[in-house]
A and B are shown apart, each in its own frame.
Chain A
């Protein structure tokens, strides 16, 4: 089913989407999207939504199941507090991608902005994953409590080295895999750089495989590179701070 979003306010657009999902429409195409917010928010259906244009902020916020494919760039808050489902962006995304996500997968082909994966969490079998094909800016994985973030640095802009600072500040769970070297100075306090073990490599290979399939890369080539693993040193990074 096709919806032309020209001159349609996000309230109306989202209502149309929700109605379609309730009627068990399996595939939806949205055309001429320019900045409408909250697309796919709070949807629990197993629908696939293809977006042509630039969706607005909070794409897929609180989403619980659908698949969203953006044929273009996304803005801020992509996958905000997502519970389940999948978001694929054939381009870049803005700030706070995957904020507080607790399940589902987000694949961004190019770069992301600040605070990607901030406050991601995992619980009881649900483990969210955020895979970024290009570079991330500062505060990647801030406050992370669970889940997986992968940064591949494949775009020309990403260069040979990651340039983000304050990676993982406040991290107390989860793991970040980065392709290529990272300096300890770029990391928040309490974040440890380590090597991947076999379990890590299997997880990484699965995510890289999906990413490569989506965006037409060779997964083997990506996997031959060196990866580092970032994990928190403690579950209670600030335990020693307070006097009682």
Chain B
């Protein structure tokens, strides 16, 4: 059933990173264990409030992402709840062993904020574009992976991450861009519980991150053509909301997944693993097709990597043709 928190008009009001920072500042004002850590990464316009209000609890370790993650585990040992911030690719690439060993294995209460995630942000080119984060991190036990889709869910995901005792990955898009707001302010965000943004039984579109908005746009277009698409915001990649995904498979009989990461091992991979074992239905995966990222404007990249609404719509049409009658 469609969530009562779906906003009627999806205006562009706040940056997702700002919403996270606003939440972090709010948390820090209530809980003296919250620490914000950076590896020479901008705290954003709103984030600049943090060092002014809580100068003890902001730590920048310089360009040393591996050290960032391990030292955050040390801060957790000292009783704090650190949120680390750096580029997704460098948290993952320079900090994989550290995330796995110091955070996940040692079950540290560390929150790793993956900034500038996904392939769409082209400003810095392939060296800065992680396509494999979801695949790599999903395979590490004891990690909660959150991937909010708009400013409201970003704020709520930050609160949920702080409340959860244990390691959390919080995946955020390009910190400098603004994306549509999908939810009303009173959104109730629960780890592992996906949100239905558009109801329908003809096909299900399971999306995560900033492409949820595009999936929603597609569902509205399809509606005009008489096709009712169910749109689920899979804001928690792990643990996957298996019950709701399987219900979508049963009730719609066809699934499209949408993400700005590699379809190998990402959301598409996770859904494929689940439904192929428990309720096989036709599946199409919209996402990065095992390619590296590249420089370009976001619009150019989205088109080039076949992530725009027309490509999502095409995937829907294809998967519906494969449906068992």
Answer yes or no: do A and B interact: no
- Name B residues whose Cβ lies closer than 8 Å to a Cβ of A: none
